[in-house]
Amino acid sequence: MSIISDNNDFKSAKSLHSGHKNPVIKPETLEADKNFENSIRPKSFDAYIGQTALKETLKITIEAAKKREQPLDHLLFYGPPGLGKTTLAGVIAEQMGVDIRITSAPALERPRDIIGILMSLKGGEILFIDEIHRLNKIAEEILYPAMEDFFLDMTTGKSQTVKTLRVPLPKFTLIGATTKAGELSGPLRDRFGIIHRLEFYTEDELAQVIKRTAGILNIEITEEGAHAIARRSRGTPRIANRLIKRVSDFALVKHDGKITEGVANESLDILKIDTFGLDTTDRSLLRLIIEKYDGGPVGVETIAAAIGEDVRTIEDVCEPYLLQAGLLQRTPRGRKVSPAAYRHLGIVDRDINDQKSLF
C-alpha cells in the first residue's frame, strides 16, 4: 500500500484553525509533529487501540467487500481532532490492500482539482478527503455522480452547443473526515454508506497508546507513569503522544530517563496541564463563566471575546472535551458550567451555598 498526499494547502487550512494557548495540548496537528505522527501511526487494526465497536463493524464491512470483490462503501468519520480519523483511513486501505490518496477540502478549490484527482484514481483505490465539510458547492456537485454512479459529468462547448459528457470513473471508495459533521451538506452526507463518530479514549486505552509509543521510541515507562500521562491527555491520542515526548525529555534531563508516576506528574505540573488535562485557556474559559456570568448561560461569542480566543477554537478544540468531561454544558441560551467545574477549580458555588444557608 502506498500513501500519496496532495496536501499542498493542507498546512494553511489547518493553521487557520489554531489558537490554543498551550500548544502541547492542542489536539490539532502541529507542523513540527507531522513526521513524528507519521512514524508512530498504527498501520493495522491490531495496533489501532480503542474505538472497539467501530473497528468490529469495519472489519466485517471490509471482509464482505473483499468477498464480493467490490470496493468498500463510502465512509464518513467525524469527531474532534486527534482521535484517529486519518489513521483509521490508512488502516482500512492497508486491510483492503489498496492505495490511498490523501487530500483535504481546502486543496480542492477549483473544479479541476477534484476532477484531476478523480480521473487519476485507479480501481479500488481510496480517496481520503479531510475537512470535508469545507468542500465548496461546485466540488460537491462534481462528487455526487462520482460517488453514486462512478461518473463525471463534464460539459463541453458554449451556450447553444453545450453538451454534457458522462465520463466513467473506476470504482473507488471515498473516505471523508470532519470535525464538524453538522456543517456537512445534507445531500453529501446522504451519499455516504457508512457514517461513524469517533469517541474520546478512556484512560486505559490512552495508557496503551502511550506504552506503544514509548516502545517505538525506546522510552522506559512504568504502568503508573503511562496512566498519569493518560489522565491528562484529554481523551486524545495525539495529545498523549505529544505529552510522552515532553515528559520523556524532562525525565532524561531531571531524572534518570525513566518515566514513573512521580516524574510524569511533576513534569505535567510544570507544563501547567492539570489533572483533568485542562490548560490555561480551558481554565480561564470556565473561570470567566463562573466569575463574570454567575456560571452561565453565556453566549460563545462573548466568551471568545473575553478570553481572546476565536469562536472556532473554542467550539472545535476546547468545548468537545469540556463537554465530555462534564465540566461544561451547552444550552439553547449559551454555555453553562457544571458543579464539577466549580469543584475542579476549587471555587465554592455561591448558589449552592446560598441554598444551604436557607436551611
Ligand X SMILES: Nc1ncnc2c1ncn2[C@@H]1O[C@H](COP(=O)(O)OP(=O)(O)OP(=O)(O)O)[C@@H](O)[C@H]1O
Q: Which of 6, 14, 26, 86 is catalytic?
A: 86
What pairing do the DSSP bridges indicate for beta strands 3-5 and 100-104? parallel
130 touches ligand X by CB under 6 A: yes
Query: What residues contact 23, with CB distance under 8 A and at least 6 apart?
Result: 30
Q: Which of 103, 179, 236, 260 is catalytic?
A: 179
Between 215 and 339, whose beta carbon lies closer to ligand X? 215
86 touches Mg ion by CB under 5 A: yes
Rounded to whole angstroms, how far apart are CA atoms 189 and 141?
Answer: 13
Shortest distance, position 232 Cβ to Mg ion, whole Å: 22
86 annotated active-site: yes
- Work out the angle between the directed axes of helices 223-231 and 261-270 (0-180°, nearest 10): 30
The DSSP annotation for 277-330 comes to S--HHHHHHHHHHHHHHTT--B-HHHHHHHHT--HHHIIIIIHHHHHHTTSEEE
CB-hemisphere CA count at 13 Å for 4?
Answer: 11
Per-residue mark of binding to ligand X, 191-230 (x: CB under 6 A): ------------------x---------------------
Shortest distance, position 14 Cβ to ligand X, whole Å: 7
Between 201 and 293, whose beta carbon lies closer to ligand X? 201
83 touches ligand X by CB under 6 A: yes
Q: Given the rule CB under 6 A, which of 236-244, 259-267, 294-302, 330-338 is the region that contacts ligand X?
A: 236-244
178 annotated active-site: no
Query: What residues contact 344, with CB distance under 8 A and at least 6 apart?
Result: 274, 276, 278, 286, 327
241 touches Mg ion by CB under 5 A: no
User: C-alpha cell of 239?
Assistant: 495529545
Between 85 and 196, whose beta carbon lies closer to Mg ion? 85
Q: Which of 14, 212, 238, 242 is catalytic?
A: 238
Q: Given the rule CB under 6 A, which of 4-12, 41-49, 148-156, 251-259 is the region that contacts ligand X?
A: 41-49
Rounded to whole angstroms, how far apart are CA atoms 196 and 54?
Answer: 7
176 touches ligand X by CB under 6 A: no
Among 82, 106, 225, 235, binds ligand X (CB under 6 A): 82
State yes or no: cis peptide before 339, omega within 30 of 0. no
169 binds, among ligand X, Mg ion, none (CB under 5 to 8 A by kind): none
CB contact at 8 A, 304 and 311: yes
Degrees, nearest 5: CA angle 84-86-89:
105
Task: Burial-class residue 332 by CB neighbours within 10 Å (0-12, 13-18, 19+).
Answer: exposed
Residues that bind ligand X (CB under 6 A): 28-29, 37, 40-42, 48-51, 81-87, 130, 177, 179, 209, 237-238, 241
Residues that bind Mg ion (CB under 5 A): 85-86
Q: Would you please indicate which residues are annotated as catalytic (active-site) residues? A: 85-86, 130, 179, 238
